[in-house]
Structure 1
Amino acid sequence: MSSSSSMTLKGDYMVRPKEPTWHGCLPLFEWSLTGMISHTPIIYFYHPPPNWLISPTKIATTLKDSLSKILVQFYPLAGRLQNKGNGRFDLECNAMGVQFIEAETSSTLSDLGDFSPSSNNYCHYLFPHIDYTLPMQELPLLIVQLTKFKCGGISISLLISHIVADGQSVTHFISEWAQVARGEPLKRIPYLDRNILRGGEPCSNINDWEFEQLPRLLKNLDNSFEERKEKTTNAIIKVSKNQLEKLRKTANESWNKPSNDRGYSIYETITGHIWRSACKARGHENNQPTAIGVCVDWRSRVKPSLPKESFGNAILDVLATSLAGDLMSKPLGYASSRIREAIEKVNDEYVRSGVEYFKKQYDLTKFQDIHCIQSDDHMPFYRNPNLIVVSWLKLPIYGIDFGWGKEIYMGPGFHEELEGDSLILPSSHDDGSLLIFMCLQEVHMDAFKRHFYEGAEFEFLKGRL
């Protein structure tokens, strides 16, 4: 948005379930209490037809009414987290509601160009602000902002608690909400049973839990706060289907045959390439240890497995590790093999062992990242020399129609302070291409792009928030 744009708050409401819902505390999976303890930002842009714009309140009324109806089934989102201390929370289902904000801007959709958040600062305007210094029980688990543009276009941004819902649950909720907004019944009712996962005896191959000893910068053994607060920047990299196929071929032909006779996946290939490129861009020495956080959905990896409709956060971050010198000197397939090895160790025993491990921890805060509350001795693990790569490649993130047509753009919000964080999602063109949203320290971004594009002539989009 341009500096001359103005934003006006038109309303701030609390939307509650339309019918009485179950009240009580739902336990949270131990794994969901690790990693990101904040809200996931998502935004959709629309250009509704004239019949939706005749009444100035029609769109907002439709969204609020359908939200109230859908919360009857997705009632955990209308609850609040209750802080039990030492990084532990319960999910209190109390129907306190979801925050719904209405705003107007003097901007037009055309002012946003290609909608890339890295070339616009709309994240500061079109997303609600959350004050993470407030007690956690005062923060809504879902906040929605409807913004009307001067041209008649709209944006719908959502901030959804990552403790309560992972990507699969978020997209399940959004698609069902749109379904109800169109006057249609739910397709898939959320599964809310939390008793299916219990702890277990620790795996024999897990001694100290992986997050206990994360690689640090050898050139800066105390990982000083001064180095870590270097200014960060964001970029979006576009990888075409042809370029991706070339990378996969390179990975699968350049190293030992992958296990189970399966070629390296798109995720394993592109994540390996990101990892190698980041090591080069950061100027790592050959003996520098480095780790990459790999997000794994464990719903189908436990026995009995959880249904896809299981609502909650069923994601765990498993670490792939290596020396930077091996990543940089060996073929791409080596990096992909390290990632494959990390993913394949996530089975029923591994998941339950983690549950047991975290239950025994007195304080879970050392395993958590609250990105807006960072101190000298508590920073996200994926900062230099480490990374985390999240995939939305298999999520149904596009084609969300609330009644006025499908979106003209969908994308994530950017976190400026999450250095080393990256997100892969498919292109909305459904042509086999993908987009990588990347955050690095500013001093390393140009070098990262250069190494990433080497030999592939990758297209990319530049920009900063």
Structure 2
Amino acid sequence: MVVNSKCCFTVKPAEPTWNGPQPLSELDQLSVIHVSTIYFYRPTQNWLSPPDTITNTLKESLSKALVPFYPIAGRLRWIGKGRLQIDCNAEGVQFFEAESESRFEDFGDFSPSARYEFLFPGVDYSVPIHEMPLLLVQLIKFKCGGISLGLLISHAWARLARDEPLGTATFHDRRVIRAGGPPRASPCIDHEAFIQLPRCLLGKLDDLEVRKKTTLKKMANEDHSSSDLERGCTRYESLAGHIWRCACKACKHENEQPTTLCVCVDSRRRMSTLPIGYFGNATLDVFATSRAVDLTSKPLSYASSRVREANKKVNDEFVNSGIDILKNQQDLTQFQDIHYEGSTQGPFHGNPNFGVVSWLSLPIYGLDLGWGKEIYMGPGTHDIDGDSLVLPSHDGNGSLTVALCLQVAHIDDSKKHFYELI
């Protein structure tokens, strides 16, 4: 796919905002790289003429959105010991405009594809971090009249683009999650929340559709009476266990091979201190572990119960103990994803570790910027072997979509097991 860049703009807040250094919580410190999403639209003819209508609407509404979300217009800065803060300086975000001779028909069903990498502005992680915008947006106009928007975005932008009130006020004070404060004197819970797993690059992204959710959840809760769980597995725990099991079978790990599933838990509803509208990272990774032979030979209820046992640990005290562990670290470099970006650390074949991130509760669809809702939304490209995302189906039929990244040699087998074992 050929994408021809036209211009680049720096979009700044529409009015003066608070300036100064903003401390980051320990959970904010971990995920530094940009997360990409892609939206495709087919605007009506009145939005396509004059040609700059869509561009101007996006730039103006983005500028308004940067007032309540002013930290996004700032820059990260290293403050020593592998730690960062946000310099709220209103330097702005990057907005790129481009064109392509391609048509929407070239994307087929819009399944995740390596072609998507051309739809996003490039991020050079070798430049000093204080020069790197926190938000980059690329608008591409296609020959067919459709457009794509590649970005990391808050839904607040969409409301302002339609000239609607913002809604829930943003809450920026990270002291509610103990940003900038010392660790507690009380002992930490003994857990492995920040274990470092090998990162394996050069995977292939594929997507799978899950329609038999009821059957899958029922399978996951078989033998529930024999487990130590106080309730059955959720649909996420059921599906995560299924993905883990199928990927492990596809990779043909030896029986005694230890395998780990990373579960990314949103702690907003599990902490008493976080208000509605808190604008910051509140996710924490926990880990389900097993031997490969147990995953592949036992029923789904075993794999899902392992996920459930990991998930149920996360409460207010567990998150705070994780924050204490990070606060007691002399240097956080080893825990930050930006230091692995572009590297080839870890084995390239036979990766025994997997991850399943849920986007089921996120308001990712219905991003109407004034010319109607998107015809497709999905994750951008990524190449971390073993990573996967679970999303609700875009057409609202109740099915789920799994975007799974595995080595090319394992994709077909994983897909085969995924459907055969339901």
TM-score by length of 1: 0.85
Aligned position for 1:387: 354
Equivalent residue for 1:10, pick from 2, 6, 25? 6
Q: Which structure 2 residues correspond to residues 134-145 of structure 1 after superposition, within 5 A?
A: 134-145=127-138
Are the structure 2 counterparts of residues 212 and 184 from structure 1 closer, same or farther at C-alpha, using a change threshold of 3 Å? closer
Deviation (angstroms), 1:108: 1.6
RMSD: 2.2
Matched position secondary structure for 2:194: helix
Does residue 423 in structure 1 map to residue 403 in structure 2? no
- Name the CA distance, whole Å, in 1 between partners of 2:72 and 2:415: 39
Equivalent residue for 2:418, pick from 441, 448, 452? 452
Are the structure 2 counterparts of residues 239 and 177 from structure 1 closer, same or farther at C-alpha, using a change threshold of 3 Å? same
Does residue 200 in structure 1 map to residue 193 in structure 2? no
Q: Which structure 2 residues correspond to residues 327-342 of structure 1 after superposition, within 5 A?
A: 327-342=295-310
Aligned position for 2:87: 92
Are the structure 2 counterparts of residues 342 and 375 from structure 1 closer, same or farther at C-alpha, using a change threshold of 3 Å? same
Aligned position for 1:459: none
Are the structure 2 counterparts of residues 260 and 326 from structure 1 closer, same or farther at C-alpha, using a change threshold of 3 Å? closer
Are the structure 2 counterparts of residues 373 and 455 from structure 1 closer, same or farther at C-alpha, using a change threshold of 3 Å? closer
Deviation (angstroms), 1:259: 6.3
Deviation (angstroms), 1:37: 2.8
Matched position secondary structure for 1:345: coil
Deviation (angstroms), 1:382: 13
* Equivalent pair of 2:188/2:321 in contact (CA under 8 Å): no
* Equivalent pair of 2:24/2:85 in contact (CA under 8 Å): yes
- Name the CA distance, whole Å, in 1 between partners of 2:421 and 2:177: 46
Aligned position for 1:262: 231
Are the structure 2 counterparts of residues 380 and 330 from structure 1 closer, same or farther at C-alpha, using a change threshold of 3 Å? same
> Aligned partner of 2:143: which letter?
K
Aligned position for 1:439: 405
Deviation (angstroms), 1:188: 1.6
Q: Which structure 2 residues correspond to residues 327-406 of structure 1 after superposition, within 5 A?
A: 327-370=295-338, 371-374=340-343, 376=345, 379=346, 384-406=351-373
Deviation (angstroms), 1:27: 1.4
Q: Which structure 2 residues correspond to residues 73-84 of structure 1 after superposition, within 5 A?
A: 73-84=68-79
Deviation (angstroms), 1:293: 0.8
* Equivalent pair of 1:252/1:263 in contact (CA under 8 Å): yes
* Equivalent pair of 2:96/2:138 in contact (CA under 8 Å): yes
Kindly tell me the number of residue pairs found equivalent between the two proteins: 417
Are the structure 2 counterparts of residues 432 and 202 from structure 1 closer, same or farther at C-alpha, using a change threshold of 3 Å? farther
Aligned position for 1:293: 262
Equivalent residue for 1:117, pick from 102, 112, 118? 112
TM-score by length of 2: 0.93
Aligned position for 2:145: 152
Equivalent residue for 1:32, pick from 25, 28, 44? 28
Deviation (angstroms), 1:261: 4.9
Q: Which structure 2 residues correspond to residues 35-54 of structure 1 after superposition, within 5 A?
A: 36-54=31-49
Are the structure 2 counterparts of residues 382 and 200 from structure 1 closer, same or farther at C-alpha, using a change threshold of 3 Å? farther
Aligned position for 1:66: 61
- Name the CA distance, whole Å, in 1 between partners of 2:53 and 2:268: 39
* Equivalent pair of 2:220/2:238 in contact (CA under 8 Å): yes
> Aligned partner of 1:236: which letter?
D
> Aligned partner of 2:254: which letter?
E
**Unmatched segments (≥5 aa) in structure 2:** none
> Aligned partner of 1:232: which letter?
G
Does residue 191 in structure 1 map to residue 156 in structure 2? no
* Equivalent pair of 2:196/2:335 in contact (CA under 8 Å): no
Aligned position for 1:165: none
- Name the CA distance, whole Å, in 2 between partners of 1:367 and 1:412: 24
> Aligned partner of 2:418: which letter?
F
Matched position secondary structure for 1:435: strand
Are the structure 2 counterparts of residues 258 and 139 from structure 1 closer, same or farther at C-alpha, using a change threshold of 3 Å? farther
Equivalent residue for 1:252, pick from 213, 221, 232? 221
**Unmatched segments (≥5 aa) in structure 1:** 161-169, 217-222, 457-465
- Name the CA distance, whole Å, in 1 between partners of 2:80 and 2:350: 26
